[in-house]
Amino acid sequence: MPMECIIDDERWSALAPESLADQCLAAVAAKVKDPALARITTVLFTEDEAVRALNAEWRGKDRPTNVLSFPAELMPGLPDDAQPLGDLALAYDTTAKEAGEKRISLKDHACHLMVHGLLHLLGYDHIDDADAEVMEALEREVLEHLGIADPYRDYPPVL
């Protein structure tokens, strides 16, 4: 089941989002070695309003966010190893704003968000401190493999 990239906001095009998504997926797969990653279905590169609407509908939070992960529903009749993993949606405006606040490239931040979202689809979470430490350590390792600095380091304030 090949991953599909939908570019709903042309501002993402400057980042070559299909290639970026492939790189992030490969890096997560190299670290986590979970065959389910081959079954991610869609990465939606969109804008804040679309993500706000999805966030309101599916999470009851009427505000945009940087990335959303949607685990796929089980499809009757498909064996476990053929079940789709899920989808990601990235919001351009929020992602660009956060990248600017952190003084990092939009590409690096978008990659971090895709890695973060992929780990959520695999069942990782950050609700409590112990789970957050595990998930963030994996994110750091995957991003280091991609040549991206620790996304959880302290950033100097924007003046």
Give the model confidence (pLDDT) of 131-157 as tens digits.
Answer: 999 999 999 999 999 999 999 887 665
DSSP 32-64: H--GGGGGEEEEEEE-HHHHHHHHHHHHS--S-
Residue 13 or 83, more confident: 13
- 74: which DSSP letter? P
Q: For each of the domains in the chain, give its residue range(s) and CATH number, in order of start.
A: 4-145 (3.40.390.30)
Q: In the predicted model, what is the mean pLDDT of residues 61-70?
A: 96
In degrees rounded to 5, what are phi and psi of residue 44?
Answer: -100, 120
pLDDT (0 to 100) of residue 158: 56
Confidence of residue 1 (pLDDT cuts 50, 70, 90): low
DSSP character at residue 147: T
Residue 156, pLDDT score: 61
For residues 2 and 60, the model is more confident at: 60
pLDDT value at position 23?
95
pLDDT reading at 88 higher than 90? yes
Long-range contacts of 57-65, Cβ-Cβ distance < 8 Å, separation of 24 or more? 64/91, 64/93, 64/94, 65/91, 65/94
- Nearest Cα residue to 89 out of 2, 18, 148, 7: 7
End-to-end CA distance of the chain, in Å? Answer: 46
Q: Note the pLDDT of residue 159.
A: 54
